[in-house]
Copies of this chain bind each other. A is one copy, B any other.
Amino acid sequence: MNKQQNILVIGAGLCGSLLALRLGQRGYHVTVYEKRPDLRKVEISAGRSINLAFSDRGIKAMKLVGLEDKVQSLCIPMNGRMIHDQEGNSFLSNYSGRDYEYINSISRGELNALLLDEAEKHDHVTIHFNKKCQSVDFENTTALFFDYETKSDFVEDADIIIATDGAGSILRKSYFLGKKFLFSFSQDYLTHGYKELSILPTENGDYKTYKNALHIWPRGSFMLIALPNLDGSFTVTLFLSFDEGNYNFNNLTTPELVTEFFKKEFPDALQIMPNLIEDFFKNPTSPLGTVKCSPWHFKGNTLLMGDAAHAIVPFYGQGMNASFEDVVEFDAVLDKHKNPTSKSDWETIFKAYEHTRKKDTDAIADLAIDNFHEMKEHVNHDLFREKRNLEMALEKNFPNEYSSKYSLVTFNENIGYREAMLKGRAQDKAILNMLVEGDIDMHSDLRHVLDKVKIETEAILEDDRIAGLK
Complex contacts, A383 vs chain B, CB 8 Å: 469
30 A-B pairs in the complex with CB atoms less than 8 angstroms apart: A182-B189, A182-B242, A182-B287, A182-B289, A183-B187, A184-B186, A184-B189, A184-B289, A185-B185, A185-B186, A185-B187, A186-B186, A186-B187, A186-B188, A377-B469, A378-B469, A381-B469, A383-B469, A384-B469, A425-B467, A428-B467, A429-B463, A429-B467, A432-B466, A432-B467, A432-B469, A433-B463, A433-B466, A433-B467, A436-B466
Nearest neighbor of A288 in chain B, beta-carbon distance: B182
Complex contacts, A378 vs chain B, CB 8 Å: 469
Q: How far, in whole Å, are A321 and B428 apart by their CA atoms in the complex?
A: 38
Complex contacts, A425 vs chain B, CB 8 Å: 467
Complex contacts, A428 vs chain B, CB 8 Å: 467
Q: How far, in whole Å, are A381 and B469 apart by their CA atoms in the complex?
A: 9
Complex contacts, A377 vs chain B, CB 8 Å: 469
Q: How far, in whole Å, are A443 and B423 apart by their CA atoms in the complex?
A: 36
Complex contacts, A429 vs chain B, CB 8 Å: 463-464, 466-467
Complex contacts, A469 vs chain B, CB 8 Å: 377-378, 381, 383-384, 432
Q: How far, in whole Å, are A429 and B242 apart by their CA atoms in the complex?
A: 39
Q: How far, in whole Å, are A436 and B378 apart by their CA atoms in the complex?
A: 36
Q: C-beta contact mask, A374-402 vs B, less than 8 Å → 1, else 0?
A: 00011001011000000000000000000
Query: A175 CB to closest chain B CB, in angstroms?
Result: 12
Nearest neighbor of A436 in chain B, beta-carbon distance: B466
Complex contacts, A185 vs chain B, CB 8 Å: 185-187
Nearest neighbor of A182 in chain B, beta-carbon distance: B189
13 extra A-B contacts, CB within 8 A, seeds A183-B187, A183-B189, A185-B185: A182-B242, A184-B186, A184-B189, A186-B186, A377-B469, A384-B469, A425-B467, A428-B467, A429-B464, A429-B466, A429-B467, A433-B466, A433-B467
Query: A354 CB to closest chain B CB, in angstroms?
Result: 13
Nearest neighbor of A188 in chain B, beta-carbon distance: B184
Q: How far, in whole Å, are A292 and B433 apart by their CA atoms in the complex?
A: 33
Complex contacts, A292 vs chain B, CB 8 Å: 186
Nearest neighbor of A460 in chain B, beta-carbon distance: B463
Nearest neighbor of A426 in chain B, beta-carbon distance: B467
Q: C-beta contact mask, A451-467 vs B, less than 8 Å → 1, else 0?
A: 00000000000011011
